[in-house]
Chain A
């Protein structure tokens, strides 16, 4: 994208019918570190890559609990993300207070999208520079939505945003059909696999990622580092033990291994076709 004379403010259209400021805001999302989300019928898992600026500093918080039944992962300007999380928490709490009932996630997402749209139509505002993966429950089950700075929102079975998210998306595209009916633990494992894709060769360990789960009967919570590390170890140990003849599954894009690695636990009966690597 190059600078042009139509990109100075958000209220100027280009002759091609584009709002460049909004598109630049979506660029900001692409520069942020990756966040992924995937859902089954009853659970939604959010994961994100958490890199600290230096060894001395702490990680950026990118996953926020909005209510017991809703959580959000952000990519882009985390300050904007924090502010929007506060808005979402407020909306949920007000609804709960008035109706003693949880705010359906679909409605929260629309309110969020309308809020983002306002910023694309006021000359004294700028669009929010953050993409949000909203995971939540409502009457019809578990949902995953993506809200973008343009004010659009989409519902997804699985999605990834941020830098190097294409690798995760490719992995998810291959596997998403199995997500609907899978178990909660397998869903978390798939999330970790997808995060690994975005790391592109770096070792996956719990210190670089954060995982959160919400589901029917399970309030939204961030998994603690110990649990995450255990799950990572579990499927990596199986990967080492079983040789190339084992059931092929998962893990494309890892340059080191040319052989397909099996997935622990769920391997029995999954029967996924061998990858072309």
Chain B
């Protein structure tokens, strides 16, 4: 007898769950990725945490990777699905290089390819459980876009995934402007990452910032942000609390 009764409504089109081989929930996840356009290209930041539910299990996960000559991909969500996506992109870039004809896939093309992949998986009810950020520069044109696990995609001057949308984007909307210098861009990203570190429980204080310009991609070694915990609101946090405990 089946004790773990998984209830599906009578009119369900999903088929019996027992023979399911599709993604239902994520297991090892990465949290927000934040990225912005600056004077010479794109800056992207992500911490190095891989959470297993509420446990911060893996602390050296690289969630940003270069793609081909012109693009940079950052991902939040299921880490194993991110690795699968990297495999697909590896093959894509390989075939592109094999043409050996002076043409190459730029960030716009990679972004649209990923959109197709994510959307088609979503249509089969077997999504890749990721929110992706794709940035790059090709022939002087900067490109920054995002794709979600259901295939929602768009481009903007600054993007973020997950909690970053709620905590980082408002800061970016206020303080981002065209032609940020590299130092200002990094400062702005660090400001966003610091807020996420304080307020997102799946964030860890070990992050990398990646930069992609016409010349290529560099990714910083992991480092930590300085935090300040002496705010008066943090002292005696339960002072004004109402409750029996």
A residues with a Cβ closer than 8 A to B are 97-101, 104, 106-107, 110, 138-140
Contacts and interface: CB of A to CB of B under 8 A. Distances in A.
A110 B112 CA distance: 23
Interface string B96-115: 00010111111011001100
B105 A99 contact: yes
B112 A99 contact: yes
B99 A107 contact: yes
B180 to A, nearest CB: 27
Contacts of B102: 106, 138-140
Interface size class of B (residues with CB under 8 A): 10 to 19
A99 B113 contact: yes
B22 interface: no
B113 A98 contact: yes
B116 A101 contact: no
Given A98-B112, A101-B106, 16 more contacts: A97-B116, A98-B113, A99-B105, A99-B109, A99-B112, A100-B108, A100-B109, A101-B108, A101-B109, A104-B101, A106-B102, A106-B103, A107-B103, A110-B99, A138-B102, A139-B103
Nearest to B110: A99
A125 to B, nearest CB: 26
A9 B116 CA distance: 43
B109 A107 contact: no
A188 B99 CA distance: 32
Contacts of A98: 112-113, 116
A98 B115 CA distance: 8
A119 B172 CA distance: 58
Nearest to A141: B102
A257 to B, nearest CB: 44
Interface string B50-71: 0000000000000000000000
B140 to A, nearest CB: 13
Nearest to A139: B103
Contacts of A106: 99, 101-103
Nearest to A97: B116
B138 to A, nearest CB: 9
A155 to B, nearest CB: 11
Contacts of B112: 98-101
Contacts, number: 33
Interface of B: 99, 101-106, 108-109, 112-113, 116
A101 B103 CA distance: 12
A66 to B, nearest CB: 17
Contacts of A101: 106, 108-109, 112
A138 B102 CA distance: 9
Interface centre among A99, A104, A107, A110 (most CB of B within 10 A): A99
A166 to B, nearest CB: 31
22 contacts: A98-B112, A98-B113, A99-B105, A99-B112, A99-B113, A100-B108, A101-B106, A101-B108, A101-B109, A101-B112, A104-B101, A104-B103, A106-B101, A106-B102, A106-B103, A107-B99, A107-B101, A138-B102, A138-B103, A139-B103, A139-B104, A140-B102
B105 to A, nearest CB: 7
Interface centre among B101, B104, B106, B113 (most CB of A within 10 A): B101
A212 to B, nearest CB: 23
Contacts of B106: 101
Nearest to B116: A98
Nearest to B101: A106
B35 to A, nearest CB: 20
Contacts of B99: 106-107, 110
Contacts of A100: 108-109, 112
A203 to B, nearest CB: 43
A139 B99 CA distance: 14
Interface centre among B103, B109, B116 (most CB of A within 10 A): B103
A107 B99 CA distance: 8
Nearest to A96: B112
A68 B122 CA distance: 32
Nearest to B104: A139
Contacts of A110: 99
A100 B113 CA distance: 9
A64 B106 CA distance: 29
Contacts of B103: 104, 106-107, 138-140
Contacts of B101: 104, 106-107
Nearest to A110: B99
